[in-house]
Structures are given as C-alpha cells and as structure tokens.
Chain A
Amino acid sequence: MPASKHQSVTKIGEAVDRIDGPLKVQGKATYAGEFEFDQPTLVGVYVGASRSGGTLTHVDTADAESQPGVKAVLTYHNAPDQRPFSEPGDEGRFGQSRAVLNDTTIRYAGFPVALVVAETLEQARYAASLITHDVATDGPDFLDDVKEAQTTPESLDGGFEPDVSCGDIDHALNSSMRLDMTYRTPSQISAAMEPHTTIAYYDGDILHVHTSVQILASAVTCLANTLNMPEEKIHVQSPFVGGGFGSKLGLHNDAILACLGAIHLQQPVKVALHRRQVFHSAPHRGFSIQKIALSADNSGHINGISHHSAMPMAQDYAFAEATGAVARITYKADAIESVHRVKVVDSPMIDSCRAPGDSIGSLAFESAIDELALASETDPVTFRLNNIAPAHPITGKPFSTHHLEACLKQGAEEFGWDKRSKSEDNNTVKKGYGVALAMRMNMIVPSEAKIVLENDGKITVFTDMTDIGTGTYTILSQIVSDFFDMPASNITINLGDSRSPASCGSGGSFGASSSATSVRNACEKLSAQLCQMMGLAQGTHTVALHDNQVIAGEGNTQQSRSLADLLKETEGQQLEAKGEVEPGESHDDYEQYSCGAHFAEVTVDTVTGEVRIKRQHGVFSAGQILNKKTATSQLQGGMVWGASYALFEDLQRDRRHGGFVNCDLAEYHFAVNRDIGDISVSFIEEPDYKACKLGSKGIGELGITGAGAAIANAVCDATGARVRDFPITPDKVIAALG
C-alpha cells in the first residue's frame, strides 16, 4: 500500500514523483508471482496445443504423472467442472467464462491441453515436456483480402457505430483529385514486461487469487462464471501490474489454470506464462487492411474521406476495433464514409492492444492524409491546418474543448518545422521530417472509491482501481492532498483489491479521470460530514486537515477543531465516505476528445533501407494535466510505441499450424533505447469541466495516436518512398525505392 514520502501538500498538476516508485526499485512491491501464502506454493506449467483450432483427439499424461515432484496433471478428463467457454452470452467478454481443460475443443494454437502441477518449476516444465497430444484440425484461416471481411460487427470498441457516413461520398471523391490507397498493419502484441501470472489458493470457502489484471470487478465475475462460484467467495488482488496495454483487461489462461489447480489440490498454485506462452494465451491485435480514398480540390480542401477497415475477429470472442474513428473526427469534408467489416477466424484471442482503433487507424489515415497533402502540393502542416474540423464532421456536435489547431501550430514552432533542413544529407543517408495529428475519444466510466479518515489525521483511499505503471497511486494521493491541503505522507492509497469499492479499472484512457473524480467526490462527502460535525452549513466551507486539526472556512469565520476530539464519538474513531462517478449529463451534448500533434525527424539509409529516428516532438491537449511528470512519461511512452508500430512490430502467424512464429522479445521487435532519439512533449492546458469536475481528459492512448504516422511521413519525406505495409522495415524501404 504505497504512501507518499512528501511531508508537504502535493497539488493537482504538480510533477510529483511516483509514490510507488521507491517500493518498486527496492523490490518491495509484491507483484502477483511473488505473493506467498502460509503454505508452500506449487507450480503449474501447461502444455499448449501444437496446432490451430480443432478437436483434441489424444492426450497422454502417463509419463508426466510418474515424474518426481508432480502433484497432479489436469486435462479435460479430471479438471474441476466449469461453465462452457464464453457463457453467459449477455456478459461482457471480460466477465464471461474463460473455461480451459473443459472439453476437447482446441480454440487456437497454444490453447492449454494439460496442466502439470509440481513442487518446483523445473519439475513441472520437464513433466510437461513428456505429455503428448494430437489435434484434428481443418487448418487455420486467415484474412488476406478486404473482400473476405463481410461481417458487420455488432459494435465497435469504444461504443462507435460500425458504419457511419454523411454527404454523397461518390460525388465528393470523384469531383476532384482522388487518391486510392490500401494500407496494412500487422498483428501486434502488448508485450508487457511482466508476463501474465496468477497464484491461487482455495481454503475450502474462499478462493484467493493474486493476479496481474487491469480491471478487478470483471475478473471476479469471470472467475465466478467460469468456476460456478458465487462472486462473494472470490477474492482477487492485483496491487501491482507490470504493464498491461490492454492484454490484462480480462483474465487469461494463467488465472483459470491456477484456480483449477488450487481447487483440485487445495494448495496454493502458481501459473506464470512464459514469454512464448504470452504470445498465444494473452490476446493480440489483429492484422488490419485499411482501404482509404481521399479527394481534395484545387485549393487544398478535402472533399471526400472514405475509410474501409477489414480485420479478423476471433471465434467466440466478440471484439472489433474502431480503426476508422480518426477518419471520422479529424478533418472536415463534404462527404465522409467509414465502414468496418470483420472476418471471423480461428485465431488466438484478438482484443485491445495499446489504443485500439486509433493507433493503427492513425498510422494508416494520417499517412494517407500526407499523401493527399503531397499530391495537392501543399505543405503537410498547412494542409492539415486548412482542413481541421471545428466540430464533429458527421454529427455537427460541438467539441467540449478542441485545441488541435493550437497543438499543430505550437508543435510546428517548437519543432522548427519551417526551419527544417536537409543540408546534412550525405550521398546515401537522407533526412526527412513528418507530421501527424491525434484525436482520441475521452470518456468517463462508472467508478467508486471509499476514503477513511483516522483520528490521527491519516487518510486511506480504498478502490479496486489498478496502477498499471501509469501513476494511479500518485494522482489519487494528489487529489486527496490537494483537496484537504494536507501532507501527502499522511495519505495511503490501497488499490487492486476486489473487496474495495468497484472502480472503472485501467483501460481506454478513462482510468485517471474516472477514478480521480470518484475519490474527489469522496473527499467532498467527507468534508461535508466534518462540517456538519462542526455545526457548519454543508458545502460552504473549505476543510483542511493540518496536524490532527480540522480547519474549516477562511478568515474571520475560520474554525479549528482537534480531530481526535471531533471523532471521539464516532464508531472506531474514524470517518468514512464513499464517492462515485457516472458519465455526466453533458456527455451527450458535446464531443469529448483529447488531441495532439506529432512531429518527427528521421534518417533513411538508402543503401540498406534502415530508418533511424532522430527526434520526436508531441504537443498535447488533454484538459487539466493531473501530474506533469507521470503524464509526460505516459505520453512519451506512447510515442515510443508509435515508433515501434511504424518501424518494428510485426507478429507473424504460421500459415500451416496457425500459431505465432516470432514468439520472443529477440524476434518480436519493438523500439529499444537506441531507436529513440530526442523525445519531447509539451502541453496546451485548459481544464475541460465538461469532461469531469477535475477538468482532466484521458492521455493513456493519446501519445501513440498519430506518433507512428509522423515517422512514416518523415520516411517518405526523406526518400519519396511510401511504404503502405507496416512496419517500415529495411527490405520494404529498398523495395519502395525501386
């Protein structure tokens, strides 16, 4: 339970160090795999199916069972009863049954066929290697062409409609200069540093689960549904999460398998995915094909925008991302058409991965916009300035706040767009510059928190919210410290416990605003209680907590009371207040977006095709920034992932067995330190009180949106080579150079 070391007040917006940082660097933050029960923990290792979906025809565990240290080998023959996979149908995908070892159905390559539980990891791994199995399958299927995706998804992630349009798109596209482009983005995986890990223990009454998950409440529901247990008998804890990026929104095979082992053996069982298993057992992002048609008139104004997205959807796992969202919102046009189609395929699970929709949507769309700017012979910054939508281009609704133009202008100034020079070009290494815009929808998700005030002036916040490395612990501490004008060192933040009030969880860039508002509301309620106890009218006085004193009001009417004295009569000599938040009333009247502008400078070696990044600069508008330090880190992290999407990440599936091929961090490339040059972030700050009472908006997925396209555009600027098949690897650059 992290508490700040700051003896002083930490204000909202201040660049406060992470309060969980010291625990993490000292190894005192207990991650899921490090938890210890009183009894020794057994270790479970599972065997994954050798090929893609089908039927398990044979599994032989005899050799494994006879190995030293082996306590149990579970298969569908002897695993505890579970509810069928993906039931109940009306539950969201994070709450549905995630049954494994329940029948002979093999959902995808790598799907668990057996679990070995042994005294040590080495014993379990070796025994698992002795298990043989066979899968009867028709072979995997793939999405190869736009035409194969014919299914309209019921809904898109983020609540977007699959298809929207306005105006006469054919007329708009054909009445002026038209470009038709097909962009492809590869399968990608979150690749969080901490592999998915669970330790479970069933004491005969309560199932105790220590896991790494972004949302606690739905994790409890998932286990209850999978294991046919009442929710109140399940206790999930996830105080520290070593990166999620969407891959830990729900629970995965490690969690279910650990629980099955724990129930079967009535002893603590740990299942940690090894890195290769993460690629199959945790969800990944599907491949996308984005057909984009754009047109512009002679004066460089966009006439028509058509975006058609085709992606795979995993069988029995309804998730489709809104790849076209940025094409609907960024620019005004006479006509806009955005269409999403999927092909249901037998594939490992496809789900959220780092800014679903916008990250890969912007990669393609902001590249396409650049193509249009170049074809219009207009400077890419000027072209964008000329076409920014002042209100929602399709619905006409106003934005709550909108600083896209300001981001672009300030960014161009800070980056030195007008001073960019190619003078350092030598013969074979070319320099290039690129720009791209970012728009990311903001939302508030229902969230609850409880705060407890002790008579010594210490406050503890309880919410089942998580900190996935984003800074939740720190900003919630700031909210309380700022509100009560109290030292941060008197505040403890308790996260990641399913017995605490249910929060929004971490995901979709909604975590900070939603959970922080619920904590702020709890503070207000506590403040009102204190006022009432002091005989003051509710809500008319500010309340501060200084040195065990409650100070209410200001100036002549200020009152001060000893907290111990005030709480003498209360039960346990403490006060409790609950706060909650729901999407506000203004939610439907305004479009709420965070926005930003990205700039990049790269070099391209025209002999080898290697692209190297020199500089990235981003300017962002996301309302009130809650903590400049964690916000900057998060946005820079997003920009690094954007660089990864542009140049490196490429998860390949074998066309014969359907499993992933490059399943380790040596061959699944993302940006390393040396790939990132100078990286800088600045803010255009203006609280957006239509978004929430703190005025903040989401930043979690803003940094990545548009970041990759700025790099892709810089590559084209350097060489004239436009690579439409991401990532832009040396082989593709050379092919494009011709």
Chain B
Amino acid sequence: MRPFTVNRLTDTQHLNDVDSFENSRFLAGGTNLVDLMKHQIETPDTLVDLSGWESADTIEETDETYQIGAMVSNTDLANFAYRKEDLSLLSQALLSGATVQLRNRATTGGNLLQRTRCYYFYDTNQPCNKRQPGSGCAALDGFNRIHAVLGTSEHCIASHPSDMAVAMAALDAKVKTINPAGNSRHIPVRELYRLPGDTPHIETVLGGDELIVSVDIPKRPRGTQIYRKVRDRSSYAFALVSVACDVTLKDGVIDDVSLAFGGVGTMPWHAKSAEDFLRGKTATSDLYAQACDIELSAARGAGSNDFKIPLIKRTAAFVLEQAVGQQMAHPGHQGAIHAR
C-alpha cells in the first residue's frame, strides 16, 4: 500500500484543519475504498477518516424532509425506511444490495460514491480511462456483461453499481454538502453524477474538498413503490438491471410516476423521458413497453451486455404494470406490494 496521511474528522467545522485535499479521499465505511487501496487502484495521499463523525450518524425528520446523515449505515437506513410507507422504495433497494455484513459497514454518503465493478477497472494490468486517464478502455472490446448500455462513451462503459442511489434518484433526493470554507449546497441526486464523456475518472460534480453531510428526501405523498432487482444470484450480486418505480393513479390516469434504472447506466439512471411519456396518460397495458422504448432509444450494447436492453425493457414494463395494477385495485395505496 502506498504511504498516506490520515486526518480524523469529528465534525464539519474541522474540515478546515485538513492539511491538503490534493489527491485526498473521504473514508466512511471503507467497504469499497479499502479494497481499492489494497489493489493500488485508489492511491490517495490523504485519507479523511469520518468514523468519528457521530453527528452525521443520525436521521432527522421534519415536516418537509427526511435528512439522512451521511454516516448512517445502510442497515440503519433500511430499518428506518422499512417503517415509512413513503420510503418503501428506499428500504427495498437497500435490502437488495450487498450482504448484511456489508450493509452494517456501508454508509449513506459512501454508497452514493462507490465506484464501478468494471473488471478492467480492477485489473491494474489493463488500460482503464477511469483508473488511469488516457490509457484506453479495455471493456469496450472485452468481456462486458456487467457494463452499461446508457450514458456510455467511447472512453468508458462502466456501470454504476449502487442500488440505493437508484432509489434516491427515483425519490428525487438531494445531497447536502459542505466545503472547508463552510459553504453548503444542495445537489439533486439526479444531477450529482456526470456522464463519462472523455473524463470518466470524474464521476460526480462534487469538489475534492466537498463533503456530503446528508441526503435529504422530500416528504410528499407517494404511491405504489417497487424496487425490482434482477441478478444472477439471489444475494450478494450487483444488479444486471434494476428498476425503481413509484406510481400514483387518479381516476385511471397516471397522476405521477417516478422511474429510475440501475445496472444499465454509467450513473443511476433517472428515466425522465419515460416518466414524461407516462405522466397524464390513461393507464393501459400497451403504454409501458412504449415508455421503455423511448427511454432506451439511445441504449447501446457493447457485446456481452446486449441482453440488458431487452431485459430492462421487459422488467420495467412488468414493474410498471404491476404498480398500476396495485393502484387500480387499491386506490391511494402507498408503499410496497407485500403479498405476492
């Protein structure tokens, strides 16, 4: 492991005390970063250790929002969200991710910033523009079964692996950040990530010294929420594709719909075009595949991941139909469909 300096942070006021944010990383649960450091994929000069930052390990509920502290573990957040009908989507997504052991360590802020599982990103013998800018992309012509079909570029097709972030995008959560100067801002999760373009190593709009303080989820009435993750095995597997959806029906018309995809995008994919197409339409079973086609019109497979395009379409169409069916059978329903 390359030598590095560790700064321990207990509150955001001390962010200013960090000597340098030049090539620094924030260390939260460490479930991803520590692995990457062991393999010399991440080689920071400075680690800002957040494990003593207790005030960020709380969830605050106001009339308008749920403010999820950045250090709240995935387990704690899943347990909290499980008891809230309007956050059902979030608990479903969290509980489908990783394993209990990993969720106990992983944090809300860290989950958003976890890095891709691209095989070539992990293999330091191979070119990777994300790991080593300008070196090339080995995945484009390689084995790319787990890679993205949306938002890709000729420089990178790595998929974003998070489940939680997909639900956060669907719920239109906002990330609250702070920097050493004390400046704070809110960034919608839908705008947090950057497409790879020709700079795939820059994954978010965050500055190097900008710390996620909380993730704020707006409180508002929601409808039937489904997080459907399709994976090779039933646990401890990243999504081949996943669908987060929240549908409210009023008098047979799709009053509101939130839709986001996982596993298919270079970032958690907010399916805005599909939402726009669906919103206000009378719910009929032919709509859902059409909506998916619109969202997927720019999707491009790279070979071994071609199957993801039809798979996300059939999964998303099925999920939408299921959610609408629930709304029709139980008008005003809010939460998960528990009985199958």
User: Which A residues fall within an 8 A CB radius of B?
Assistant: 48, 50-51, 122, 125-126, 129, 274, 276, 426, 428, 607-610, 612, 647-648, 652, 654-657, 659, 661-664, 666-667, 669, 671-675, 729-731, 734-735
Given contacts A122-B1, A126-B1, A608-B314, contact A666 B117 (CB under 8 A): yes
**Which residues of A sit under 8 angstroms from B237, Cβ to Cβ?**
666, 669
A659 touches B125 (CB 8 A): yes
> Chain B, interface size: which category?
35 or more
A672 touches B236 (CB 8 A): yes
B143 touches A672 (CB 8 A): no
A657 touches B235 (CB 8 A): no
**Which residues of B sit under 8 angstroms from A655, Cβ to Cβ?**
142-143
CB-based closest 7 A-B pairs: A50-B125, A731-B307, A674-B235, A122-B1, A608-B230, A674-B234, A129-B40
Rounded to whole angstroms, the CA-CA distance of A664 and B138 in the bound complex is 18
Given contacts A607-B318, A609-B311, contact A667 B234 (CB under 8 A): no
Rounded to whole angstroms, the CA-CA distance of A675 and B318 in the bound complex is 23
30 contacts between A and B (CB under 8 A): A50-B125, A51-B125, A122-B1, A126-B1, A126-B2, A126-B3, A126-B40, A129-B40, A274-B38, A276-B39, A276-B122, A276-B123, A607-B318, A608-B314, A608-B315, A609-B311, A612-B234, A652-B145, A655-B142, A656-B141, A657-B125, A661-B142, A662-B143, A663-B119, A667-B146, A669-B237, A730-B232, A734-B307, A734-B310, A734-B314
**Which residues of B sit under 8 angstroms from A647, Cβ to Cβ?**
232-233
Restricting to B120-152, which residues have a CB under 8 Å from any CB of A?
Answer: 120, 122-126, 138, 141-143, 145-146
Among B1, B138, B235, which residue has the most Cβ atoms of chain A within 10 A?
B1
Rounded to whole angstroms, the CA-CA distance of A663 and B39 in the bound complex is 12
**Which residues of A sit under 8 angstroms from B99, Cβ to Cβ?**
672
**Which residues of B sit under 8 angstroms from A125, Cβ to Cβ?**
1, 38, 40
B311 touches A666 (CB 8 A): no
**Which residues of A sit under 8 angstroms from B138, Cβ to Cβ?**
654, 656
**Which residues of A sit under 8 angstroms from B340, Cβ to Cβ?**
426
Given contacts A50-B125, A129-B124, A731-B311, contact A648 B142 (CB under 8 A): no
**Which residues of B sit under 8 angstroms from A671, Cβ to Cβ?**
233
Residue B238 CB within 8 A of the other chain: yes
**Which residues of B sit under 8 angstroms from A656, Cβ to Cβ?**
138, 141-142
B238 touches A666 (CB 8 A): yes
**Which residues of A sit under 8 angstroms from B119, Cβ to Cβ?**
661-663, 667
A607 touches B315 (CB 8 A): yes
> Which of the residues B2, B40, B123, B143 comes within 8 Å of A652, measured between beta carbons?
B143
Residue B189 CB within 8 A of the other chain: no
B234 touches A675 (CB 8 A): yes
**Which residues of B sit under 8 angstroms from A729, Cβ to Cβ?**
232
A654 touches B142 (CB 8 A): yes
Residue B115 CB within 8 A of the other chain: no
> Residue-by-residue, is B143-183 near A (CB-CB < 8 Å gives 1, otherwise 0)?
10110000000000000000000000000000000000000
> Residue-by-residue, is B225-266 near A (CB-CB < 8 Å gives 1, otherwise 0)?
000101111111110100000000000000000000000000
Rounded to whole angstroms, the CA-CA distance of A48 and B125 in the bound complex is 9
**Which residues of A sit under 8 angstroms from B228, Cβ to Cβ?**
608
**Which residues of B sit under 8 angstroms from A735, Cβ to Cβ?**
307
Among B38, B145, B233, B310, which residue has the most Cβ atoms of chain A within 10 A?
B233
Rounded to whole angstroms, the CA-CA distance of A149 and B138 in the bound complex is 29
Q: Select from chain A the residue with minimum beta-carbon distance to B43.
A: A129
Q: Select from chain A the residue with minimum beta-carbon distance to B238.
A: A666
Rounded to whole angstroms, the CA-CA distance of A50 and B231 in the bound complex is 31
**Which residues of B sit under 8 angstroms from A731, Cβ to Cβ?**
240, 307, 311
Q: Select from chain B the residue with minimum beta-carbon distance to A732.
A: B307
Rounded to whole angstroms, the CA-CA distance of A734 and B308 in the bound complex is 11
